[in-house]
Each structure stands twice: as C-alpha cells, then as structure tokens.
Structure 1
Amino acid sequence: MADEQLETPGSGDYTGLPRRFVQVVIQERVFLALLAAAFLVAGVVYPYPQIAMWAGFVFAGYAVIANDSIQTIGTFIASNKHRPWWVLWLFIGGVMLVTMAFGWLTHEGDVTYGRLASKNFSEAPTEFAFLQVAGPLLLLVLTRMRIPVSTTFLILSSFAASPKGIASVLSKSVTGYVIAFAVAIGLWLSIGKLTEKKFVGEAAKGWYVAQWFATTFLWSMWLVQDAANVAVFLPRSLEFYEFAVFAGVLFLGLAVLFRLGGDKIQEIVEEKAAVTDVRHATIIDFVYALILWVFKIQSDIPMSTTWVFLGLLAGRELAINLTRDPDKRRSVKDVLKLIGKDLLFVTIGLIISIIIAVTVNPNITPESLSW
C-alpha cells in the first residue's frame, strides 16, 4: 500500500506519487499553516494579559501533552495498539480529570499541587513577552523533529523571577536523571536475564490489568509534577469556570494525541528494547512512577520529568544489553549512541530555554547563570 500511486485525475502535482508520501506532505503543510497562524495569534495577543494568558496556556497545553506526557503514556500507547484509540483516551483523560480536580479542591484552586508556590514562580504573570506566549510553539516544532525537550526548562525558565529559580529546577532535574539511571542499572541488571527468559509468548491478561494500574499511578504522579508547565500562564488559584476550561483543553488535547497514535515523539519510546511488550512496559511505568513519587514528597520545586524518564530508559537500555545473550546484544557503541542522542536533544532544549529566559526576563543574564 505504501507504494500505491496516485493517478486520480485532477490531483495536480501529486499525480503519480506514492500515496503515503502525499499524505505526509499534506500533513506537514497543514501543520506549518496552523503553526504560522498560532505565531500570528501570539504576536497579536501578547500585549493583552487577560487574552495572552489563555492563548499561552492553550499552546502550552497541547505542546506539553505532545512532547512531555509521552514519557508517561508512550509505553501505554506502544503496548495497547490493538485497542481503539478512544478507549485509551477516555481512560487517560479520566485519570487526568480526577487528578487535576483533586489538586484544585485540596489546594484552594491550585492545580499544580503547590509546585508554583516558591517565591520564584508564586506570582501569576501580569504582563507577557512575545516569546513567553510563543515559547510552547517552539516546543511543537522540536516535537515535530522528534526531539524530547524538557518543557519544564523551555516554558518555566521564561517565568522564573531570578536565576536561582532556574538553577534549582536544573539541579533537581539532573539529580533525577542520575538517580533514575542508577536505579535502572541496578534493577535491570538484577532482573534482565529473568525477564528475557520468562517474558516470552503472549502475556497473561493479568499483566494488562497491572499495566493499567501502573499507568494510572505514573500518569497521576506526572501530572502532579508537570501541570505547573501549563498552569504557569494562569492565576495561581483558579475559579471554577477557569478550572473547567483548563481541564477541558487538556482533555481535548489528549484526544488529538491518541488519535495520532502518539505523534512524532512516540518513536523515541518505540526505538527502545521491548517497550511494546506489556510486561516490560508495566515495569518501566511502575519504577518511573515510584521515582516521581519520591521527588514529589521530597520537594515542591518543579523538575524536568523528561530528564528522569531519559535517565531511566538509558540505564535500562544499557543493563538489558549487558544481560542479553551475546548473539542478541547490540554493540556497546550503538547503545551509547542511542543514550547520547537523547542527552544531546535535551541539552539542546536546555540551551534554547536559557536563550528564551535571557531574552524575555531582565532579571536573568548570561553572567547570572554561571552557577
């Protein structure tokens, strides 16, 4: 089917081209048109704070879902491709609504569970720069390029009240990468050979039940950490109608993501070893959720879950490769190249984030970031 030719009369410049190629070209043109329109909207509304905060939130809502949340539901999508997309959406969307509603009710209208309560982010913006509103659109571009960027850095850094705010987020995030890497190395060196031997053939139905429980735990922990990345545009305490808009936008954004099967960034997950197997996916999700839970109770400072996730995948990939039979192993060079590529991409995102922060925030200079 991929080589099927388009020969329909009137198809213009596309006549004779492979159908799949034409579909990709059309999708990219639509994406670029919508992106251009969104940049235009950002340029028009940023001087008007009451409009700009909602425009920035809508842009950030989908951008964060498309890039960041794939860390948590990427393995869920990969191992449940046999199910209708809308079933997965309603499940994940339902967990999101419950988690956000609980935070809103128990934290006096604060959907971030106190993640923006520190002095560096506690004040809601009263005015916006163009790059603050348009920053999430840059994230969409990077997502389209299959680059897993830290949305915590890309979005929150432009709202930090001081360089210390960025430094604390960076310190916690790098610590998360190292801890996740070490935990993954230790765990999968211990169970790698066992899973290679036992996880063969069709998974028992109990594993699917376990994965959905693990995904619920993980998805809720991720929301507790990363809701700050989209709520930073909004008042720190939301009225009921504001919360309804907040939750509704995220719910519909998830529908788009599931309809697209995870979109471009999903490939970052699926290129890793055995993540489409529900048994492996369940273990990954549960370990990741435990790490996020520990960081949740340890500190209210926002952190990049992207760095934690990539640290977990990197350690797991290295350990699994070391425990496999020699004839099934990847070369060490290939594994390190895979790990290095992910690190390079998140570092690129960090550099872009700092450039945006320096550009829009007069309190932050390149010299002040020399920690």
Structure 2
Amino acid sequence: MPSKLQVKKSLLTTYYQFIELIKQERLFLIVIGISFFAAGFAYEYAKIAMWLGFMFAAYSAIANDSIQTIGTFLSSNSDKKWYTLWLYIGGIFLATVSYSWFTYSGDVSHQRLATDALAEAPTSFTFLQIAAPIFLLIITRLRMPVSTTFLILSCFSADLSGIIDMLGKSMLGYITAFTVGIIVWVFVSRWISSHFVGEPKPYWGVIQWITSGTLWSVWVMQDIANVAVYLPRSLNTYQFLGFVSFIFAGLGVLFYLRGDKIQEIVTEKSHTTDVRSATIIDFIYAILLFFFKELSNIPMSTTWVFIGLLAGREIAMSMMDQDGFGKSYKRTFKLVRRDILYAAIGLIVSIILAVAINPDINAEIMQMIGM
C-alpha cells in the first residue's frame, strides 16, 4: 500500500501536469469556448447557422478525416515546402468538387446526399447539429481517428434506417480493408524489405504524387457530403464560391500545421515516412474507396476503411517479422485495439447526438429494445 506522502506526491504531480496541459492548450480551449458560444447564439437563425455549421464541419472534418488520405503524403514529403503541397492538393479539391457541381446541377457531394435519409436540406437547426463538429475538433485534438460520417451525418439522418445503412457499409469497408491489407502485405512484405532499401529513386516521388492526388480526389467524392450536409443540396454560384474558398483556405492551415496532432496516427505506423511504402498504402486505399463509391450512394466511414487497411498491414508485417515476432505482435495489437476503441467512441458519441437531436430515432431505438 502506498503511503499518504506518496499519494500526496502523486496527486500533486497529476495536478501540475494538468495545469501544464491547460497552459499548452489555452488558445485551443479559448477557440472551442468561443465556438460553442457562437453555436448557441446562431442555431436559431437558419441562414447564419447553415454557414456557421458548414465552417465548423469543413475544418474539423478535413483536420480529422483527410489525414487518412494526405497523411502519408505529408509524412513522406516532410522536406517539401508546405505551400507546394497545399496548392497541389487544393487544386485537386477544386477540380473534384467543380466537376460534381457542374455535372449534378449544383450538388457538390457527388450525390452522396441523394439518399432518402439525407435528401432534404435542413431548413432549421438545433444547437447540437451546429455543435457536433466542435466535438469532432476536440476529439481530433486528442488524436482520435473517429468517423466524421457518423458524428455529423447521423445528426441529420431522417430515420434510424439511414444510420444503420451507413453503419453496415462502413463495417463491410473495415472488414474488406483489413482482409486486403493482410493479403497484400503478406505477399509484398518480404519484397519490400529486400527492395525498399537506401534512398528511393526519383520516379517514386512522381508516382506517389499521382497516387496521393487520385486518392484525395476519391476521398473528396466520398466524404465531402459530411461538410455539404449543412448547405442547400444545389448551390448557386455565390454559395459554391464561398464553399470552395473556405475549404481551400482550411487546407492551407492544415498543411501549414503539417497535419497537427492527428498526423501522429500515421507517422507511428511502420514505414509510412518512406515514399515507396506510402505510395502502396495510398494506391490500395484509393482502389478500396473507389470500389465502395461505385457500390452505392450510401455514405460510409472512410475512417473505418483506413484503420482497417493499416491494421491488416501492421498484422501482416508482424507475421513476416520472424526475429521480433512476439514483441512485434504485442505492439501491433496495441495499436489496432486503440484505433478500434477510438472509432467505437466516435460511433457511440454519434448515436447519442442523433438520439438527442431526433426524437423519431429515439422512439425507434426504444421500440427496438422493447421499452
């Protein structure tokens, strides 16, 4: 049993660590406080709330979700100027949403919001609908790769079936990516170990930029719905310019910060800073997202696909690491377990928000559990 003196020292240490954390995050906490205040003021004014919610969602979703697609791009191009990377990725974003806007009569979501549960643009808002992206900002600051699809779109789903459809497609995405990750890396792990040595050839950089650009474009087709859900389903010219300008600027901030806290989710995985390994990850992820994009218009969690792919990859690499087999497996399962836990936390928060916002969903859940 620890003595009273030891307990006091432990409590004091914890207290000082907490105070230090508050000092370090003071600016962030101030921004969060102001954001909650703004959400509380604006949610009753639909036209203001619409754009405020969009701005919160745009930055929080891109800061959390897009790191899945440009995270490896950032980590393997750390020697490049941030604005060079920003202009490249930002240009692809502009081209991708512009194509959707022209092709689908003002819809920037590539028809991901055309499902029955999300087809109608909101004409009024609740406080929690506007504040949902703020919760996502907090979770992102804690380095949790949660699903913005669940956290934001579930707040606007007209019924429980829409959330169940998103959940089913996302779980299928995780299982598929996990399986593909294991199969691919079991076959290529030894080849990578023997061939990916020394400095990569210059052409690998070109291949990776093309692959990352393709992946980013497919991700935008899937996940931009999480941002556009606040806005009219058909944007006029001025609304479209406001939409793309804000997100383009937000991407600039993200690249200037080099991904910020959530980037550690990528860099802590094995060999993601090597341009060759990063290119393979991006290529497979792009194929998976394109497959699910074509499968149906139902929105899905790209986060679950991403962590499934990385989990399968890490396990396969552990299987092939005969020298450090036990130690490697222990580290791998710790990372996989943590990522799944964070994704589950995001799902639970999403369901709580959906139930709090939509009484019809609450009633459906109560009916399902027999209450």
Scaled by the length of structure 1, the TM-score of the pair is: 0.92
Pick aligned residue for 1:58 from 49, 55, 77: 55
- Report the AA paired with residue 310 of structure 2: L
**1:324 Cα deviation after fit:** 2.5
**1:337 Cα deviation after fit:** 1.2
Distance 1:130 1:281 in 2: 40
- Secondary structure of the corresponding residue to residue 80 of structure 2: coil
> Does the CA contact (< 8 Å) of 1:226 and 1:305 recur in 2?
yes
Pick aligned residue for 2:73 from 56, 73, 76: 76
Distance 1:162 1:191 in 2: 44
1:251 aligns with 2:269: no
Q: Which residue of 2 aligns with 1:32?
A: 29
Q: Which residue of 2 aligns with 1:214?
A: 211
- Secondary structure of the corresponding residue to residue 197 of structure 2: coil
- Report the AA paired with residue 128 of structure 1: F
Q: Which residue of 1 aligns with 2:313?
A: 316
Q: Which residue of 1 aligns with 2:299?
A: 302
Instruction: Tell me whether 32-41 or 361-370 shows the greater mean CA deviation.
Output: 361-370
The runs of 5 or more residues in structure 2 that have no matched partner are 1-18
> Does the CA contact (< 8 Å) of 1:173 and 1:304 recur in 2?
yes
- Secondary structure of the corresponding residue to residue 274 of structure 1: coil
1:340 aligns with 2:337: yes
- Report the AA paired with residue 297 of structure 1: E
Q: Which residue of 2 aligns with 1:367?
A: 366
- Report the AA paired with residue 155 of structure 2: S
1:205 aligns with 2:202: yes
The superposition leaves residues 216-259 of structure 1 with CA deviations (integer Å, 9 ceiling, x where unpaired) of 11000000000100000000000011011110111011111111
Q: Which residue of 2 aligns with 1:113?
A: 110
- Secondary structure of the corresponding residue to residue 260 of structure 2: coil
The structure-2 alpha-carbon separation of the partners of 1:335 and 1:123, relative to structure 1 and needing over 3 Å to count, comes to same
Q: Which residue of 2 aligns with 1:124?
A: 121
- Report the AA paired with residue 71 of structure 2: G
- Secondary structure of the corresponding residue to residue 261 of structure 2: coil
Distance 1:369 1:137 in 2: 30
- Secondary structure of the corresponding residue to residue 148 of structure 1: coil
The structure-2 alpha-carbon separation of the partners of 1:331 and 1:369, relative to structure 1 and needing over 3 Å to count, comes to farther
Bigger share in helix: 2
Distance 2:333 2:146 in 1: 19
> Does the CA contact (< 8 Å) of 1:192 and 1:324 recur in 2?
no
What pairs with 1:259-278 in structure 2 (closer than 5 Å)? 259-278=256-275
The superposition leaves residues 101-155 of structure 1 with CA deviations (integer Å, 9 ceiling, x where unpaired) of 1111111100001101011000000110100001000000000011111000000
- Secondary structure of the corresponding residue to residue 364 of structure 1: helix
> Does the CA contact (< 8 Å) of 2:319 and 2:325 recur in 1?
no
Q: Which residue of 2 aligns with 1:90?
A: 87
- Report the AA paired with residue 337 of structure 2: G
Q: Which residue of 2 aligns with 1:136?
A: 133
Distance 2:114 2:97 in 1: 17
Distance 2:260 2:368 in 1: 34
Pick aligned residue for 1:196 from 186, 193, 200: 193
Pick aligned residue for 2:285 from 279, 285, 288: 288
> Does the CA contact (< 8 Å) of 1:99 and 1:220 recur in 2?
yes
- Report the AA paired with residue 177 of structure 2: A
Distance 1:250 1:363 in 2: 33
- Report the AA paired with residue 64 of structure 2: N
**1:333 Cα deviation after fit:** 2.1
Pick aligned residue for 1:151 from 143, 148, 161: 148
The superposition leaves residues 174-229 of structure 1 with CA deviations (integer Å, 9 ceiling, x where unpaired) of 00000000011100000000001100110011110000010111000000000100
Distance 2:88 2:23 in 1: 31
> Does the CA contact (< 8 Å) of 1:110 and 1:238 recur in 2?
yes
> Does the CA contact (< 8 Å) of 2:148 and 2:226 recur in 1?
yes
**1:367 Cα deviation after fit:** 2.6
Distance 1:124 1:141 in 2: 26
**1:330 Cα deviation after fit:** 3.8
- Secondary structure of the corresponding residue to residue 114 of structure 1: coil
**1:323 Cα deviation after fit:** 1.3
Distance 1:233 1:370 in 2: 31
**1:272 Cα deviation after fit:** 0.4
Tell me the number of residue pairs that the alignment of Structure 1 and Structure 2 aligns.
350
Root mean square deviation of aligned Cα: 1.6
- Report the AA paired with residue 152 of structure 2: I
Pick aligned residue for 1:174 from 171, 174, 180: 171
Distance 1:253 1:370 in 2: 42
- Report the AA paired with residue 105 of structure 1: F
The superposition leaves residues 313-334 of structure 1 with CA deviations (integer Å, 9 ceiling, x where unpaired) of 0000000111124148743222
Distance 2:152 2:205 in 1: 35
Scaled by the length of structure 2, the TM-score of the pair is: 0.92
Identical counterparts, % of pairs: 53
Distance 1:40 1:97 in 2: 32
> Does the CA contact (< 8 Å) of 2:92 and 2:213 recur in 1?
yes
Pick aligned residue for 2:38 from 35, 38, 41: 41
- Report the AA paired with residue 228 of structure 1: A
The structure-2 alpha-carbon separation of the partners of 1:151 and 1:322, relative to structure 1 and needing over 3 Å to count, comes to same
